[in-house]
Amino acid sequence: MKYVFMLLFVFFSNLSWAQNKVDVLVLYPDTVANVLGNNVAVQAANFINQGNSAFTKSNINIQLNLLDSVQISGYSNTACNSSVVSSLETNTEVTNLRRFHKPHVTILLCDSPTNNIAGNANYPSTVGSGGAPKALAVALYSHAYTFAHELGHILGVGHGKISGSTTHTGVPISTSMGYGVADNYRDVMTYPNAFGNAVQYLFFSNPAIKTCIGQTNTTCGTNEYNAAGGIPTVYTNYVSKYKSHWTNLQPTQLTTFKFDIPNPIGSMKIEMIYPTRKLICNPSYAAQIYSCEHKTFSSGQHIFQITGQGSTWKYESGVCQAGTDASQKTCAYNVTVADHNKTILMSAKYNGPPLPETTITFNANFNILGGGSTSLSLYDNGLKLCEFRYSWNESINTCTITLPRSNARLELRGSVLDRFEWSDHINNNYNNYGSCDPQDDSNYTPSLCNINNLNGTPMTKTFSVWVYD
Ligand SMILES: [Zn+2]
């Protein structure tokens, strides 16, 4: 009998503090995707986190929530200016994405600052084009402060002092403005012009706090410069209502391209090259990525390009020979989407020349505590290769297997497996130690551990398996 002790830590915090949630949809054009690659979603999440820390630090009850970050087509001009913000109101793809995700706020990551301006946003208003809430902004893809700054505008915060006697007041609450002290510090909404050499910090003005720049007795705002006073009212009167416009509409129908790759080998890439909105999908056996999905919103023709080695790719009844030698080859599929709400499956299978084999000897050392029996099996992609057994009358501790290829992924399944550790053992040199904690299997369901990165070198692997019975 296995005893499992669980310690439950329950944290109570902010139970009386209902958060004013702001659901944010982040969009980005091809040009930003080209710069950030697969890191766009990470960057968007980082911006959201930094924005939230600014609200927390400023004691403002706003909680940003990232709905999704989506690449869009049709924005070769990604200037960070007001004309791009205006264009978002009427762009069909953007509108369909807003209908689907139902955001409070939509922000396009831009990559081309204009006259040192890195972003632009709408102030709160009841409706924009077609009755939709404006709640739109562009913000430079590389700068978290700009992202928070533009969100501040959507929440009604103005820049504050921009030169001697000129002030950008908040909308519609005029005192909701940026605050700073010349040659010392300034908040995220301020322009540098009026503050000399002041250092910008990620906070919003609030006369009630003293810790906005990390020191204990700082003036963080005045009654005249008080974003913390204006934002909650703007949230209640405007922002909280932005979502309902989308909620009241039917969501758009989506077409999903689903790529199902049962046994990918080596490097492959699936890319949607037409229309310009791109999907990049890298199925990988080693990384255990076997499928990926792409949702698109337009009917019409799409072209997928597949790059890979030694594989035959199939799309429905079509066949595409991607390559049968070590060089990278590409092929393209034309896919016509007649209407929406379709799921299109594309599958791939290996059909190339034999790949290098490798021989690995596994030795299992069972450490049975308390008696009992166990078995431990090695699987390659669901195919059982060998089995170790230990009980009162038998002990099978060694098996030698030949893997069908050099980069196989092994699964270790045991009947009462609790934990195993392993190491490579070549010529008395031990290296590549590893361990794995499979799921609890007290009900005798097979546990599963993956052993990755077998590099094709013949070797001996020694497993130490601890079984608690
Ligand atoms: Zn601004």
Q: What is the pLDDT of residue 41?
A: 86
| Strands 358-369 and 374-380, sheet pairing | unpaired
208 CA from centroid of ligand 1 (Å): 23
Indicate the burial class of 106 (C-beta count within 10 angstroms; 0-12, 13-18, 19 or more).
buried
CA 442 to ligand 1 center in whole angstroms: 59
Report residue 89 as tokens: 């109101």
Contact 361, 402 (CB under 8 A): no
Ligand 1 centroid vs 87 CA: distance in angstroms?
A: 18
Instruction: Report residue 100: phi and psi, to 5°.
Output: -75, -45
Determine the distance separating the centroid of ligand 1 and the alpha carbon of 139, expressed in angstroms.
10
What distance in angstroms lies between residue 189's CA and the mean position of ligand 1's atoms? 6
**Ligand 1 geometric centre to CA of 109 (Å):** 15
The three-state DSSP-derived secondary structure of the chain is CCCCCCCCCCCCCCCCCCCCEEEEEEEECHHHHHHHHHHHHHHHHHHHHHHHHHHHHCCCCCEEEEEEEEECCCCCCCECCHHHHHHHHHCHHHHHHHHHHCCCEEEEEECECECCECEEECCCCCCCHHHCCCCEEEEECCCHHHHHHHHHHHCCCECEECCCCCEECCCCCCCCECCEECCCEECCCCCHHHHCCCEECCCCCCCCCCCCCCCCCCCCCCCCCCHHHHHHHHHHHHHHHHHHHHHCCCCCCCEEEEEECCCCCCCEEEEEEECCCCCEECCECCCCECEEEEEECCCEEEEEEEEECCEEEEECCEEEEEECCCCCEEEEEEEEECCCCCEEEEEEEECCCCCCCEEEEEEEEEEEECCCCEEEEEEECCEEEEEEEECCCCEECEEEEEECCCCCCEEEEECCCCEEEEEEEECCEEEEEEEECCCCCCCCCCCCEEECCCCCCCEEEEEEEEEEC
Q: What is the pLDDT of residues 204-215, one digit of tens each?
A: 999 999 999 998
**How high is the pLDDT of residue 34?**
82
Q: What's the confidence (pLDDT) of residue 307?
A: 67
CA distance 41 to 28: 10
Distance CA 175, CA 191 (A): 16
Q: Which residues of the chain have pLDDT under 50?
A: 1-16, 316-317, 324-328, 351-354, 370, 427, 440-446, 453, 469
Nearest to 459 by CA among 362, 354, 357: 362
Position 194: which residue type? A
At 103-118, the pLDDT tens digits run 999 999 999 887 778 9
Q: What is the pLDDT of residue 389?
A: 74
The CA distance from 292 to 282, in Å, is 9
Measured in Å, residue 124 CA sits from the centre of ligand 1 at 13
- Looking up tokens 């069972």 gives 366
Ligand 1 centroid to Cα of residue 174, in Å, is 15
Please tell me the distance between residue 149's alpha carbon and the centre of ligand 1 in angstroms.
6
Contact 189, 148 (CB under 8 A): no
Instruction: Give residue 132 CA to ligand 1 midpoint distance, Å.
Output: 22
Q: How far is the CA of 90 from the centre of ligand 1 (A)?
A: 22
Expressed in angstroms and rounded, the spacing between residue 151 Cα and the centre of ligand 1 is: 9
Cα-to-centroid distance, 146 and ligand 1 (Å):
8
- Written as six digits, the tokens of 437 are 């904690």
Between the CA of 429 and the centroid of ligand 1 the distance, in Å, is 62
Q: Calculate how far, in angstroms, residue 159's C-alpha sits from the geometric centre of ligand 1.
A: 6
**What is the C-alpha separation between 409 and 455, in angstroms, rounded?**
10
